[in-house]
């Protein structure tokens, strides 16, 4: 710690990965540890996943009965079919969900329309009609804010509709 004359004999984690450490004197390491929060910046789901992994000592669980090999073989074949490849599936960290890019236009469109997946086209159309009626400028006295909001809603609806059309064109698996 800057200005501290005592020896830094106690280590404290730099971040959640626990890879690097700071070295402090006893007084400063205690202050640092009181203020440090392992779960800072994590969503509720990430916190719950971390707690479950910690209960299992961060190790994956595996079946030891006769069906374990069959289950793994079926998982591999399903992955290969889904991804149109003969390659082996990638080894994933246990309990870690695949990353989702929340900046994709589809997720932004769902946020504008206050929708959550899974969605159907029927749900999207109903929400669009509801929002269009509520925010139409004619209903709101020609308000420029309503007009801009309606433009955003129209764009969001178009993005989601095109995504569904593209999804419908995918070959059956």
How confident is the model over 16-55, as pLDDT tens digits?
777 788 888 988 888 888 888 878 788 888 888 888 777 7
CA–CA gap between residue 42 and residue 10 (Å, rounded): 27
- The pLDDT, as a whole number, for residue 127 is 94
CA–CA gap between residue 169 and residue 173 (Å, rounded): 12
DSSP of 119-134:
--HHHHHHHHHHHHHH
CA–CA gap between residue 7 and residue 27 (Å, rounded): 11
Token pair for 114: 């206050």
CA–CA gap between residue 117 and residue 94 (Å, rounded): 24
Helix (H, G, I), strand (E, B), or coil: what is residue 164?
helix
- Taking each helix axis as running N to C, give the angle between helix 121-135 and helix 144-169, from 0 to 180 degrees, rounded to the nearest 10: 170
Q: What is the pTM of this model?
A: 0.43
Q: Is the dihedral of CA 122, 127, 129, 132 positive or negative?
A: negative
- One digit per residue, the tens of pLDDT, for the chain of length 173 reads 778 888 888 888 887 777 788 888 988 888 888 888 878 788 888 888 888 777 766 666 666 677 777 778 888 898 888 888 888 888 765 555 556 666 778 888 998 999 988 888 999 999 999 999 998 988 888 888 889 999 999 999 999 998 888 776 655 54
CA–CA gap between residue 92 and residue 73 (Å, rounded): 16
- The pLDDT, as a whole number, for residue 94 is 57
């Amino acid at each position: 710690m800057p200005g501290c004359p005592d020896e830094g004999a106690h280590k404290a984690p730099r971040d959640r990965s626990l890879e690097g450490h700071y070295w402090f004197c006893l007084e400063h390491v205690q202050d640092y540890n009181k203020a440090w929060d392992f779960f800072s910046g994590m969503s509720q789901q990430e916190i719950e996943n971390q707690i479950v992994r910690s209960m299992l000592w961060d190790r994956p669980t595996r079946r030891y009965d006769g069906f374990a090999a069959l289950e793994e073989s079926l998982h591999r074949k399903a992955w290969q079919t889904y991804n149109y490849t003969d390659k082996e599936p990638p080894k994933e960290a246990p309990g870690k969900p695949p990353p989702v890019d929340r900046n994709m236009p589809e997720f932004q469109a769902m946020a504008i329309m206050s929708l959550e997946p899974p969605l159907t086209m029927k749900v999207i159309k109903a929400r669009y009609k509801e929002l269009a009626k509520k925010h139409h400028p004619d209903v709101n006295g020609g308000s420029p804010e309503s007009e801009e909001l309606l433009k955003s809603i129209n764009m969001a609806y178009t993005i989601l509709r095109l995504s569904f059309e593209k999804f419908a064109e995918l070959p059956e698996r």
